[in-house]
Amino acid sequence: MSILSSILLVLHVVFGGSALVLGLFSTSSQKGKKLHKKSGFYFFISMLIVSITAIVLSSIKGSTFLFHIGIFSLYMNYSGLRAIRNKKLTPSTSDWIVNIASLINTILMIASFELVLVIFGLISLQLVYSQLRLFYFHIRNKEIPRMTWLVQHIGMMVGTYISTFTAFLVVNVNFISPAWIVWILPTVIFTPMIFYWTRKSTAQPKIKTI
């Protein structure tokens, strides 16, 4: 293994571990408070490094699988942060570029016919479609549903956490067969939580009546 590959691998593992811990702090802390914001931001930075090192390592090792997963994680991480900083969800040039690149990556994942990549590719397809649909709404000056930015933020950031938790399980859990169960287990566990957190965070306060 080259020195560059070794350095990238160390960075990938260290920041992957940091993302696991920071993600727990972010999801378990009260939303909107200082701990949530701080841990969430550093989680974003950690996952940014994890995704970039995964993409570079995939190029060095010739792993198309790692490349597609790296792009997928990078897309969710970017979109999750953008939603909280661009609550009107007005698309910028970089948003268009990221989503088109992700759409291409999505098509390639599905076209690979590898079970795990197809599953993640279908998830990615739904996410990209939702994003491009919002862009279309802006172009046509259509009203965007209430709290859409928060729904997108929760879904994308928890999705990013799912990706790093999945990688952790795949590397460390080798006693479950068939292996694809380990790949999809975090998605099965955390997806209902996304719906729960989204419902809880976007619910309108009840009006008390006398």
The predicted-structure confidence for 25-68, as pLDDT tens digits, reads as follows 888 888 778 888 999 999 999 999 999 999 999 999 888 999 99
175 near 210, Cβ under 8 Å?
no
pTM: 0.87
pLDDT at 1: 63
Domain boundaries, the chain: 57-168+176-202
pLDDT at 110: 96
Backbone angles phi, psi at 32, to 5 degrees: 90, -15
Low-confidence residues in the chain, pLDDT < 70: 1, 201-210
78 near 151, Cβ under 8 Å?
no
